[in-house]
């Protein structure tokens, strides 16, 4: 009631009701589609469930600024080494630059020697996977989310060799 459509609205275009109905339907369903979540939602979930990545991993901070970049999640492992977690919900070629730059920039900023870098993504296409494997010390985790009512319920985690 009270919704009007512009005169260029054609029969093949979805109505506003159809758009909103589809949106409501999508958040009510269960899915594993990472396009239904944001990187911040993934970050929020992982901060509360770091043990999914590694036992003994402790949260330090999030969105940590370094020169020319921002680390998604900073943690510490059982051996008191800093761990940089770079999260992705979709393919992002910038991941290669982040893996090359973030560890050294963080080491320089914090005056520490040993820093680990773990990338966490739903998929690693070959054009990203092959170069990542050539970067020394990069650890890769692939995840499949279980999403219900628009919220992450759990993550299926597997390490990429």
Q: Give pLDDT tens digits for 54-90.
A: 999 999 999 999 999 999 999 999 999 999 999 999 9
Amino acid 81: pLDDT:
97
E strand or H helix at 155? strand 151-160
Compute the distance between CA of residue 62 and CA of residue 70 in angstroms, rounded to an integer: 9
Q: What is the pLDDT of residues 1-48, one digit of tens each?
A: 666 656 655 545 567 887 776 666 666 667 777 777 889 999 999 999
With 0-12 / 13-18 / 19 or more C-beta atoms within 10 angstroms meaning exposed / middle / buried, residue 123 is: middle
Amino acid 42: pLDDT:
95
Q: pTM to 2 decimals? A: 0.80
Amino acid 78: pLDDT:
97
Provide the pLDDT confidence category of residue 107 given band limits of 50, 70 and 90.
very high
Amino acid 23: pLDDT:
66
Per DSSP bridges, beta strands 82-87 and 115-121 are parallel
Compute the distance between CA of residue 134 and CA of residue 137 in angstroms, rounded to an integer: 9
Q: How is residue 78 written in tokens? A: 């059982």
Q: How is residue 114 written in tokens? A: 């040993």
- Residue 158 CB neighbours (<10 A): 10
Amino acid 12: pLDDT:
52
Amino acid 9: pLDDT:
52
Amino acid 146: pLDDT:
92
Per DSSP bridges, beta strands 138-148 and 82-87 are unpaired
Provide the pLDDT confidence category of residue 129 given band limits of 50, 70 and 90.
very high
Compute the distance between CA of residue 130 and CA of residue 120 in angstroms, rounded to an integer: 16
Residues in the chain: 161
Amino acid 14: pLDDT:
65
Residue where the block lists tokens 């949106």: 23
Amino acid 6: pLDDT:
60
Q: Is the pLDDT of residue 143 over 90?
A: yes
Q: Is the pLDDT of residue 142 over 60?
A: yes
């Amino acid at each position: 009631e009270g919704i009007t459509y512009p005169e260029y609205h054609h029969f093949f275009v979805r109505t506003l009701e159809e758009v909103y109905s589809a949106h409501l339907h999508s958040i009510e369903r269960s899915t594993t589609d990472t396009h239904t979540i944001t990187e911040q939602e993934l970050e929020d979930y992982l901060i509360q469930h770091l043990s999914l990545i590694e036992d003994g991993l402790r949260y330090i901070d999030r969105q940590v600024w370094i020169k020319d970049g921002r680390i998604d999640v900073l943690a510490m492992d059982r051996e008191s080494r800093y761990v940089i977690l770079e999260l992705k919900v979709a393919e992002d070629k910038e991941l290669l630059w982040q893996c090359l730059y973030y560890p050294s920039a963080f080491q320089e900023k914090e005056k520490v020697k040993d820093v680990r870098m773990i990338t966490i993504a739903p998929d690693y296409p070959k054009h990203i996977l092959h170069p990542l494997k050539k970067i020394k010390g990069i650890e890769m985790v692939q995840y499949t989310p279980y999403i219900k009512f628009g919220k992450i319920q759990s993550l299926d985690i597997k390490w990429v060799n």
